[in-house]
Structure 1
Amino acid sequence: MFGKITGFALVLVMLVSCKSEKKKEETETWRTKKAAVENAVHNQLLEVEKEQGWKLLFDGETLNGWHLYNNPGSKSVWEVVDGELHSNANDESLTAGDLVTDRAFENYELTLEWKISGNGNSGIFINVQELPEVPTAWQSGPEYQILGAEHMDYNVPEKRPGCLYVFLPQQNSVEIKQGDWNKTRIKQVDGKIEFYLNGVLTAEEDLGSPEWQKKIAATHFSKYPEFGKTTEGKIALQYWYFETSFRNIKIREL
């Protein structure tokens, strides 16, 4: 009897010990992952990214490479705060408008992260033609939609986050992480675009096709002669009265 009890106790001790070791291992793994997230370095390129041809469009410290659409040199609502490109919606003395790259791009892959207020509305315009006769970026550039989860349009199919705004509903359903960072990827090759939100493909379109021109003709964008006509142009970040932040804006030309 004593031998059986001793054997049982030994097995019990071994089981408890294994569980403790497993818990310790899981705890250490969690701490390591948590520490990695907390100490992540933003707005910098890894060596492998440099080798792949990636470049920063935002250095985390300045607005170098960007300016207010049709209004360079103005004191705009766009500012850099704690390594984030931020739209200041609280200071009415600042000049409102969309932020546009200094140069144009044609075939490329763009990635960035964004965070927006609950009722916020923003977007990324591509193939923007910055011309005096075109007052705003959206009158020439198709839009990757960015929207807060509390916005009244959040569940409108053609206005969901990641959509090709107005033209296509999400190709695959995906939600944003409200109050946290979301990741956007945009790829354009010879006018063929792909939009991704948090790793999910949300839109595809051929901006060089006759079908695309027919789609434009069926919307209010038909009133703007420069809209969606080219497959090359500047990239713009939309300002729309609510706070939005961007970081880790990277591009590689293809």
Structure 2
Amino acid sequence: MRKKITGCVLVLLILASCKTDKKKDDSDTWRTKKAAVANATHNQLLEVEKEEGWELLFDGKTMNGWHLYNDPDAESVWEVVDGSLHSNANDESLTAGDLVTDNAYENYELTLEWKISGNGNSGVFINVQELPEVPTAWQSGPEYQILGADHMDYDVPEKRPGCLYVFLPQQNNVEVKQGEWNKTRIKQVDGKIEFYLNGVLTAEKDFSLPEWKEGIAGTHFSKYPEFGKTTEGKVALQYWYFETWFRNIKIREL
């Protein structure tokens, strides 16, 4: 009888040990994944990215490489907060405006991540011509649309996130991850652009073709002689009265 009881106790101990080990393994796996997410490195280049020619457009600490459009010395709404470029929509004493790169680009691939308030409106302008007679970046640069999911234009086809603003609806449907980081990729080669949102192709256009100029003529942008005129220029981040965050801004020339 004692042998039988001892055997049962041994079996129970083994089963308990297995459950403990399984729980430990699951816990370790969970902690590892959680730690990886929590300790993800931002605003830095991997060695493979350096080999591929990528450059950081934002170092996560300073505004180096950027300035307020047509007003580089202003105390602007743009600031660095927790490793992101942040548009401060709460201090009306600051100078509002779009943030533009110091350098111009022609054939390139640009990637970045962004978050925006629920009803926020922003964008990435490309081929921007920074000229005294052109008061805002959007009067020369076509726009990759950024929009919060609660914005009144969110379901307007030609104003959806990732669109070539006003000109094209989303080529493939994709939603914004509200309150989370979204990923944008913009590629331009010889005037041909591709827009991506969260890995999905959302727009394609050839700015070198006559139909592009014809398309401009049918919109309010026709009032602005510099709009969409070139396939080379600066990159700008739009400020439009709501909080927006940008990080991991990288570019490589093609």
- Is the counterpart of residue 46 in structure 1 residue 53 in structure 2? no
Give the Å deviation of 1:24: 4.8
- Which residue does the alignment assign to 1:7? none
- Which residue does the alignment assign to 2:224? 224
- Which residue does the alignment assign to 1:98? 98
- Which residue does the alignment assign to 2:250? 250
Listed as ranges, the gaps of 5+ residues in structure 2 are 1-9
In 2, the alpha carbon distance for the partners of 1:194 and 1:146 equals 15
Give the Å deviation of 1:31: 2.2
- 1:52-104 C-alpha deviation (Å, 9 max, x unpaired): 11100001111111111011111100001111100000111110000000010
In 2, the alpha carbon distance for the partners of 1:151 and 1:118 equals 7
Amino acid at match of 1:34: K
Distance 1:15 1:186, change over 3 A: farther
Aligned ranges 1:98-177 → 2 under 5 Å: 98-177=98-177
Distance 1:177 1:15, change over 3 A: farther
In 1, the alpha carbon distance for the partners of 2:76 and 2:215 equals 34
Distance 1:15 1:156, change over 3 A: farther
For normalisation by structure 1, the TM-score amounts to: 0.92
Give the Å deviation of 1:180: 0.9
- Which residue does the alignment assign to 1:3? none
- Which residue does the alignment assign to 2:74? 74
Give the Å deviation of 1:23: 5.7
In 1, the alpha carbon distance for the partners of 2:123 and 2:100 equals 12
Q: What is the RMSD computed on CA atoms of the aligned residues?
A: 2.3
Listed as ranges, the gaps of 5+ residues in structure 1 are 1-9
Give the Å deviation of 1:26: 4.2
In 2, the alpha carbon distance for the partners of 1:115 and 1:104 equals 25
Amino acid at match of 1:92: E
In 2, the alpha carbon distance for the partners of 1:161 and 1:11 equals 60
Distance 1:140 1:15, change over 3 A: farther
For the residue of structure 2 that corresponds to 1:30, the secondary structure is helix
In 1, the alpha carbon distance for the partners of 2:39 and 2:176 equals 23
- Which residue does the alignment assign to 2:238? 238
Percent of pairs with identical residues: 84
- 1:139-177 C-alpha deviation (Å, 9 max, x unpaired): 000000000011000111110111000011111111111
Amino acid at match of 1:91: D
In 1, the alpha carbon distance for the partners of 2:137 and 2:34 equals 39
Amino acid at match of 1:161: P
Amino acid at match of 2:154: Y
- Which residue does the alignment assign to 1:5? none
Amino acid at match of 1:41: T
In 1, the alpha carbon distance for the partners of 2:208 and 2:196 equals 20
